[in-house]
Structure 1
């Protein structure tokens, strides 16, 4: 029996969408958050540097390279369970940074933002998919967020299980590991 071309194309599209974890976006004539049921949340931003573009499993529509892969929970080297990327590198957020504008230029050398690559990140079983989202930074790159916190790596961490950025206070702000519940972990007291 021969399958009609239109039906075959539809099945291929659905299979690809399920395999990549993408969700359809709003029609071109609607903005995210319209009455179409999209769960978009606008972040108050006086300079309009970024906006939150949804939550849950994200579509693979950006090309900025990074290997967030599947966000997971790690425990090695931290004061408790914390978010890590698929390579086991600790993920941080900067206190008060809700749109990625708190860490730009030289800051991104020390604290590289976790950007959406060709394959959008997902969350492991111990994390909440509804807390996963993205923002568009002022430079146009798309950054991964968890519980409304833009995520960063710390350049001084030399591999999995390294958490040297936790509790750091530098010229850009205060940096913390983020726990599976989406909140800052308390810094370890000396």
Structure 2
């Protein structure tokens, strides 16, 4: 079994086949036979796990296993406690209601890399960073959740999957590392 952790750069699509206008996983991962366990939209960045083991891929990606995925979202506006409580209790997105999750403020400081290209800066509109820990992973879920409570996401970074944390792995955008089977995450994912 092989398991890789990749810091997926902004603008990269979660497929290995070439794309006309965007980078693909093949531009960053040279290990044959591995596939993403879950997805990140091209405009999202951060921790993406890849494996050659179908059972492990299912344990990571399928919501029924309730593996926690942590995201840092830079949202437009100064998000308040009432909006964080709405996020935490579950948000009605029209086609489904999200599961309860953890939602809190976070200060990335120097831990977070600079995005290329940077987000649009507007001096008159503040931004806030929040952390969401969810056990689902539906299409554009975090972006839809923050928009539903009035704070659209400007930048979205997956910082953790299960016990794995992108910062403890020390990965910069485009870098990957193969995880050992006896690593501390073993049995948690």
TM-score tier after normalising by the smaller chain length: under 0.3
* Larger proportion of helix: 2
Higher Rg: 1
* Larger proportion of strand: 2
TM-score by length of 1: 0.25
- Of structures 1 and 2, the one scoring higher in RCO (CA 8 A, sep 6+) is 2
